[in-house]
Amino acid sequence: MAKEIKKVSDLPGIGDAAAKKLEDAGFKTIESMAVASVMELKEVAGIGEGTAEKAIKAARDTLEMGFESADVLAEKRKLVGRITTGSKELDSLIGGGIETQSITEIYGKMAAGKSQWAFQTAVTVQLPLEQGGLEGTCLYIDSENSFRPERVIQVAKRFGLDVDAALKNIFVARAYNAEHQMILAEKATEMIKEKNVKLLIVDSLTAQFRAEFIGRGTLAERQQRLNKHMRTLQKTAEINNIAVLVTNQVMSRPDILFGDPTEPVGGNVVGHASKTRLYLRKSKEDKRVAKLVDSPSLPDGEAIYRITENGIEDLE
Ligand SMILES: Nc1ncnc2c1ncn2[C@@H]1O[C@H](COP(=O)(O)OP(=O)(O)O)[C@@H](O)[C@H]1O
Ligand SMILES: [Mg+2]
């Protein structure tokens, strides 16, 4: 039998020197090697393409990133928890609330209400089960410096929570650049069990990546980094049975002549990783619309709601 693979230097073709270089570049675990690309490994550790391919494959095999039988998956699905948005309309649109074990993405223009969703769910995740919460805490990665405790306080009051306790249950980290954001997501695992985290928020998922990788030549690299980040988030959601909520910006597509020319940033890399995608926009008066796009198990549809001082609410 082949030797058991426990650390990076156990992978085939990876000697101590290469392992050290990989480690310095952030590839410290078998998990990180499993989601790495051949190009990345070539660049950071100077190893050949063939070796890189073999090492990645061995890392994936070790983690058994292959098939799982449907009954095992069905058992896992039974454990899915849901976090209320605070609006019955919205909850029913998304099948009862924001799900654990996968990524939910909300995208829309500036002031569409994305951060309001983040404040709201950072509070509602703390509610008792019978009120639509998961009795857990929230990890909040803030990459746009838009976290506002005063909004959290308002929402907490509405739900009758102790304001101090509600604030203490939200752990906010500022992400200063894309790399930092990725590291924060990787480190999240350490805190999740310890702090009973049930929701991980990334607001905004893409802003730092967009700011750093500008111009055509850098697009491929940006997508690679984003892909890695999405995989980290996805695995974190699955392994820990927590919800991951990410916000995304939109860009305008000049080639679309009919219909809405806005589309979320990040292309297929973000699109495929997000199980549930919601497009947020403003409507007439103070109404807001959330449109469900691409859910694997729910029909597409829309819900209308409002954002008030109390956060997200139904129209009544
Ligand atoms: N206290 C409040 N009462 C009512 N509406 C608010 C309040 N605070 C923010 N909003 C609404 O939220 C909008 C900003 O939403 P935000 O979540 O910051 O947008 P995004 O993150 O999508 O750019 C504001 O334009 C305003 O309409
Ligand atoms: Mg925002």
Q: What is the average pLDDT across 97-101? A: 97
Q: Are residues 40 and 133 in the same domain?
A: no
Q: Are residues 94 and 122 in the same domain?
A: yes
Domain membership of residue 185 (yes or no) is yes
Ligand 1 site residues (CB inside 6 A) read 108, 110-116, 307-309
SS3 (DSSP) at 104: strand
205 CA → ligand 2 middle, Å: 10
* Residue 24, pLDDT above cutoff 90: no
- Percent pLDDT > 70 in the chain is 98
Q: Which atom of ligand 1 is nearest to the CA of 111?
A: 19
Domain membership of residue 225 (yes or no) is yes
Q: What is the DSSP letter of 125?
A: T
Render pLDDT for 111-137 as a digit per residue (tens, 0 to 9).
999 999 999 999 999 999 999 999 999
* Residue 3, pLDDT above cutoff 70: no
What confidence score (pLDDT) does residue 1 get?
47
Domain membership of residue 2 (yes or no) is no
How big is the chain, counted in residues?
A: 316
- Contacts of 291 by beta carbon, 8 Å cutoff, 6+ apart: 278, 279, 280, 281, 300, 301, 302
Q: Are residues 33 and 102 in the same domain?
A: no
247 CA → ligand 2 middle, Å: 8
Q: Are residues 170 and 274 in the same domain?
A: yes
Nearest residue (by CA) to ligand 1, atom 16, is 113
Total tally of structural domains belonging to the chain: 2
Cis before 102? omega within 30: no
Domain membership of residue 3 (yes or no) is no
302 CA → ligand 2 middle, Å: 21
Cα gap 59→253, rounded to integer Å: 38
Q: What is the average pLDDT across 7-16? A: 92
Are 200 and 83 contacting, i.e. CB atoms less than 8 angstroms apart? no
Full residue range of the structural domain in which residue 19 is found: 8-62
Domain membership of residue 1 (yes or no) is no
Cα gap 156→154, rounded to integer Å: 6
* Residue 33, pLDDT above cutoff 50: yes
Please identify, among 62, 80, 102, the residue that sits at the C-terminal boundary of a domain: 62
Domain membership of residue 104 (yes or no) is yes
Render pLDDT for 253-312 as a digit per residue (tens, 0 to 9).
777 777 777 899 998 889 999 999 999 999 998 899 999 997 878 888 999 999 999 999
What confidence score (pLDDT) does residue 315 get?
95
What confidence score (pLDDT) does residue 40 get?
84
Quote the tokens at residue 55: 């090492």
Q: Are residues 20 and 147 in the same domain?
A: no
Q: Are residues 48 and 77 in the same domain?
A: no
Give the CATH number of the domain where residue 58 resides. 1.10.150.20
136 CA → ligand 1 middle, Å: 25
- Backbone CA torsion sign across 308, 310, 312, 316: negative
Are 288 and 282 contacting, i.e. CB atoms less than 8 angstroms apart? yes
Render pLDDT for 177-186 as a digit per residue (tens, 0 to 9).
999 999 999 9
Render pLDDT for 218-249 as a digit per residue (tens, 0 to 9).
888 899 899 999 999 999 999 899 999 999 99
* Residue 20, pLDDT above cutoff 80: yes
Q: Are residues 88 and 231 in the same domain?
A: yes
Q: Are residues 127 and 241 in the same domain?
A: yes
Please identify, among 43, 62, 81, the residue that sits at the C-terminal boundary of a domain: 62
Are 237 and 244 contacting, i.e. CB atoms less than 8 angstroms apart? yes
Q: Are residues 56 and 104 in the same domain?
A: no
Q: Tell me the ligand closest to 150's alpha carbon.
A: 1
Quote the tokens at residue 70: 């449907």
Give the CATH number of the domain where residue 195 resides. 3.40.50.300
What confidence score (pLDDT) does residue 14 get?
93
Q: Are residues 285 and 159 in the same domain?
A: yes
